Amino acid sequence: MTYSIFHSGRSRRNGTFHNFESGIEEQIEALRDELAELTRLVGKSSRHQGDKMRSQASAGYEELLSRSEDLLRELQHGYERGATEMRETVRKHPLATIGAAAAFGLAIAFLARR
């Protein structure tokens, strides 16, 4: 008789434990599904953000390239104007140019001696 009392008590406990275990397994499975969905959403969002950033970077690169080309053209024109003005000045004032070059040479020699 004692066997049946313990046996019936065990089966009730095992049944409750089994139900508890089933509930936990169902919750774990639900969490796995939610985690998989979250991973999918994060991946989709990351791809979208990556594409958006790539597009912005490409637009910024094109703008930077355009600005640098404009700046290079301006520098070339400035150099050409300066070179033209220098040649005209040398042609108009050859003696003053030779005197300025000599003074510059003397200044460099004086500084180099120190």
> pLDDT confidence of 5, banded at 50, 70, 90?
very low
Residue 4 lies in a domain: no
**d(Cα 97, Cα 114) in Å, to the nearest integer?**
26
> pLDDT confidence of 6, banded at 50, 70, 90?
very low
Residue 108 DSSP class: H
Residue 94 lies in a domain: yes
Q: Name the token pair of 89.
A: 């000045």
Q: Domain range holding 38?
A: 19-111
Residue 3 lies in a domain: no
Q: From residue 50, how far is each of 17, 60, 63, 64, 68 by CA, in Å? A: 48, 15, 20, 21, 26
pLDDT on residue 65 = 92
Residue 54 lies in a domain: yes
Residues 44-98: tens digit of each pLDDT: 888 888 888 888 888 889 999 999 999 999 999 999 999 999 999 999 999 999 9
How many folded domains does the chain comprise?
1
Predicted model pTM: 0.44
Residue 9 lies in a domain: no
Residue 30 lies in a domain: yes
